[in-house]
Amino acid sequence: MKFLSFLFFGVFLSVSVRAQEIIALQDNSQVTYMDEVKALGAVAGQGLACGSTRIDTFEMIARVILITKARSDTEQAAGMRAYNEEKANAYVSKQMDGMFECRDIVRRFDNQDIFNVKIYADGTIQMPDGSMFTPRAPYDVTAVNSKDNNQKKHAQEIYQKSGKRKIGQVRYNTGAQIDGATPPAYRGSNAPLVGF
């Protein structure tokens, strides 16, 4: 649990994250599998955007964690989608903020505890805090580490294009019935506000 907290807060001081993930980490509550893979994806996106030289190692470790900790093939597939979405979002966000504090992000990224993880050939992982995780079925960890040298370049090309995508015409529904199927705009409630 401490590992994820250090990973999450060590790199993401400048990234906004869902409130439930922050609450889960601050309260030492149980962090779900999806929370963990999303955090890993967001960290990977920033490391990739800022040009860390350790991104390939991080990606390999993150993939092993994603596969080993998944309780089913369905959860693993959902985790992979969530990981990739968070990675892309973090990459584009870092581009849009003008690569703010990239030097500090790379320094923190390259010195994370995740690089002290021990990975065994059958997919078992020993985290830096000593906790062990075994996969639901043994697998060949060497197959996880792809040696595609163009992978980083290809990912950057995809992310570059998504950051420069043009937005088409935006129409605001003013409440007038455009056609019979379009509901009017929400006008709010007349009920008094409740104070907390």
**Mean pLDDT over all residues of the chain?**
75
- DSSP assigned state of 32: P
Q: What is the 3-state secondary structure (H, E, C) of 39-59?
A: HHHHHHHHHHHHCCCCHHHHH
Q: Mind listing the pLDDT tens digit for each residue in 48-94?
A: 999 999 999 999 999 999 999 999 999 999 999 999 999 999 998 98
Given a cut of 80, whether residue 15 has pLDDT beyond it is no
Q: Where are the domains of the chain?
A: 2-163
Q: How many CA atoms lie within 13 A of 133 on its CB side?
A: 19
CB 43 within 8 A of CB 91: no
